[in-house]
Amino acid sequence: MSITTEKALATADVGGAALHTDPALAAERRELPAPLRHTGRVLLTVFTRTVAIATLLAVWEIAPRLGLVDRTFLPPFSEVAVAWWQLLLDGQLAEHAQASLTRSLTGFGLAVVVAVPLGLLIGWYQPLAGLLGPLLEVFRNTAALALLPVFVLLLGIGETSKISIVLYACTWPILLNTISAVRNVDPTLLRLARSMDLPAPRIFQKVILPASVPTVFTGIRLAGGFAILILVAAEMVGAKAGLGYLVNSSQFNFAIPEMYAGIITISAIGVAFNQLLVALERRFTSWRTPTGN
């Protein structure tokens, strides 16, 4: 073998060894195509978000069948699913859900319309905060359910009292978070805006409002949860339609699967409503720099 041939083989061996030992080159060769990587991420996300729920439902199904709990009071999930489907087919579930959604969304919407502007004003104008501060402290520490009998006495057992109690319960998390958002705006931003000789209305529009949006949406999301929970409790007291009424009447009639079907529907509506608010928050705060992984 000639010297030239030996050098060529040695060079090939060194290059091959480099390909096998260089981690970057090896990783590049092992990297999956983009569509497969995207599919893998989607599957991992779906698995991560569903494994806990699937485990809960499996335990719910198995425990009553093995006698670990009394299936009279906690029937298997499959029986609850059948009851839910029957309520859906005969229209009862849609009727009760529509009644509850109408009341809760009306009260929630009115709370947003009232509490956000009021919170911005209280947070921005200190004299107004000093005037209304003691009154706010009194009402914020008064539970909505404690005032439910008062709302029923004053407004009756019709729709007005139920919408009003939802409005009252939703107002406070939105109002308090909005006030906190305005008061906690970065002072550096305010000093910078004032150094540019911007008038107060422009500072409020260009600095205060954008910086307050994330915290305001935190209060709105909290209020979204209260809108469902408070309404369900109100419907259990005096109503002839609604998911709270469905749960309460099913309990009195010992229709336990129907009762759990109503509870599951309430939970599903709450989760869906929260996800809608999260999507809106991302839409209105798309200017923020993401943090974390």
Predicted confidence band at 105 (pLDDT cuts at 50, 70, 90)? Answer: very high
pLDDT for the residue numbered 17: 46
Tally of residues, the chain:
293
Side-chain-side CA neighbours of residue 119 (13 Å): 29
Measured CA to CA in angstroms, residue 266 lies from 6, 18, 99, 183, 281 at distances of 78, 61, 12, 35, 23
pTM: predicted TM-score of the whole model, two decimal places? 0.75
pLDDT for the residue numbered 158: 79
The predicted-structure confidence for 250-272, as pLDDT tens digits, reads as follows: 888 888 999 999 999 999 998 89
Q: Output b/e per residue, 125-161; b: 16+ Cβ within 10 A.
A: eeeebeeeeeebeeeeeeebeebbeebbeeeeeeeeb
Mean pLDDT across the chain: 80
C-alpha dihedral, 133 to 139 to 141 to 145, nearest 10°? -160
Mean pLDDT of the 109-127 span: 88
Q: Tell me the chain's radius of gyration from C-alpha atoms.
A: 29
